[in-house]
Structure formats: structure tokens, C-alpha cells
Amino acid sequence: MSEWSDPEVELVVSDYFEMLLKEISGLPLNKTKHRSRLIPQLNNRSSGSVEFKRQNIGAVLIKLGQPYIAGYWPLYNYQGKLEVVVIDYLIRHSEVEKLFQRFADSDTIQSPKILEFGNFLVPGPLEANLIENPKVAFTRAPVKTNFLEVEQRNRKLGFLGEEIVMRFERWNPIRKGKESFADDIRWVSMEDGDGAGFDILSRNLDGTDKYIEVKTTKHGKNTPIFFSRNEGLFSQQKSNAFHLYRLFNFEKVPQMFVRKGPLDTICTSLPITFKGFF
């Protein structure tokens, strides 16, 4: 199959953003109809190749810290030109940034009234999913605001995610006949503030302590997390008892995966800020 031409890349990127803006605005989205409308405009591309390109675009957006369509597993082995076209689209469409900001900052988030904990816990992303990203020589400034990080700082979203984890941690020992453990769970970030390096102190079914850090997103399973130096250090100090609880798809059907161990070993961590002393 020939390499995608510049006009083809621009078409699929434009169509992707049209779908993405529908999704984050809560509007109906039919991905199949979008694909059927797009394919006749391309150079004899198959449905599969269009889907792969959509996954590539999702990977570019995640790398740039932008919202992406949750249903597409990101594929990072993309052409360098794709990243340039995505950035160019964001620069030329200022209305997209406003919608991203509204989505990340929204305080109208509602906790799901009905949540089936039996189907709540799912496997995490594949550890081998990420590969080295292509290097692109930018001629213009890339996207400045990391809206994935902005969303994680959304206090209401964080509160609601921790609230659900508190409910889950009480439900789990009760169903296992360990009712007394449910009474020992502490919502540390609510009672003592955010400086402890974790959010919830729970109990394993063998009675040992479990330190839980909760990270919640309205996006999909592959959305990066952002953690502080304090959280990283605490996860190393309590390496055998530290658990990351990752909630995702929060406004649709929330689910969660769990990773145990220091944060710098259970995910690929990259430094994004530095402190300079004089």
C-alpha cells in the first residue's frame, strides 16, 4: 500500500476532529458512517487502513496532551507528517481549544447512579503498547496547553473518582465475608489533605495495609496519568503496598484497572517539569 498523501492525511485528520468534537460534546457519533463517507475521497484505502490511521491520530493527540476518541487504541508508529498535520489543524481551529478547555474544566460531572462493581475491574493496557515516538522538527510552536493534565486537576472529577473507589473498597471485603475491614478504610486525602502521597488507606483481604492513589479520567484506558514527586517517592517507599487505581470512561460506563508497585515501574514515566536553583 502506498504512503498516504498530504491531502489524504488532511482529510482523515479533519474527519477525526469532527468525530472527536461530537464525542466530547455528548452528541451522537456513528464512526461507521464517518468512515463510509471518508473512504471514497481517499486513494483506494481499505476500512482497516482508515481505522489504523485513526488510531495513529489518537496517539498523536495523547502525545500532545489533547483529548482523543476513547474507543481507539493508540498506535504510535505513525508517519512524522501526521503529527505536523494534527498540530496545524489545532493551530488553525481555535474553537477546538475552547471545547477542549470546557471538557477538561467542566464542573457539571455527575457520579453514575448505578454502578455494577462486578464488571468494574478490568485488565490494564498492554505494557508493550508504547514504542518510541517519531521525531518531528517543528517550524511552529506546538500545542501549549496539556488538556489531559488540566482534566486530571479537575477537583470535582478527582473527588467523584475517589468516592467511587471508597465505595468499591468497602464493597469488596463485605462480599468476601470481611465486613470489619470495610470499617477500617480511610479517605486520607479528604481527612488530612492532599500531601500524604496517596488518597485512600485500605486493607487487603489478608489484613495488610493497601495505599491507594486514585487517578480518574473521562477519556479512555490509555490516557496518561500525571503524578507529583511526592506521590512518586511515596510509591517507592511503600513499593509492596502501593496501588494505582485508574478510573476511565467516567461519564459513560466507568471502569478501573489496578497496578501495584512504584509509579516509575508500573508505567513509562517522563519528566515534564524541572526546578532550577541558583
Tens digit of each residue's pLDDT (9 = 90 or more) over 3-42? 899 999 999 999 999 999 999 998 999 999 999 999 999 9
pLDDT of residue 139: 54
Last residue of a domain, one of 105, 138, 165: 105
Query: Are residue 248 and residue 165 in the same domain, yes or no?
Result: yes
* Residue 133 belongs to some domain of the structure: no
Say yes or no to pLDDT of 142 above 80.
no
Query: Are residue 93 and residue 157 in the same domain, yes or no?
Result: no
Interatomic CA distance for residues 200 and 170, integer angstroms: 12
DSSP states of 45-76? --HHHHHHHHHHHHHHHHHTT----TTS----
Average pLDDT over residues 36-58: 95
Query: Are residue 101 and residue 187 in the same domain, yes or no?
Result: no
**H or E segment to which residue 230 belongs:** helix 229-237
Which of 65, 225, 210, 45 has its CA nearest to residue 143? Answer: 65
pLDDT of residue 138: 53
Query: Are residue 5 and residue 74 in the same domain, yes or no?
Result: yes
Average pLDDT over residues 245-267: 94
| Residue 79 grid cell | 508517519
User: Residue 128 — pLDDT band, cuts 50, 70, 90?
Assistant: very low
Helix-strand-coil split of the chain, %, nearest 5: 45, 10, 45
Average pLDDT over residues 226-246: 96
Q: pTM for the full model?
A: 0.90
Query: Are residue 216 and residue 159 in the same domain, yes or no?
Result: yes
Average pLDDT, the chain: 90
**Structural domain that includes position 87:** 1-105
Query: Are residue 177 and residue 98 in the same domain, yes or no?
Result: no
Last residue of a domain, one of 78, 105, 132: 105
Question: In 10 A of CB 54, how many CB atoms?
Answer: 27
Average pLDDT over residues 161-174: 95
**Total domains, the chain:** 2
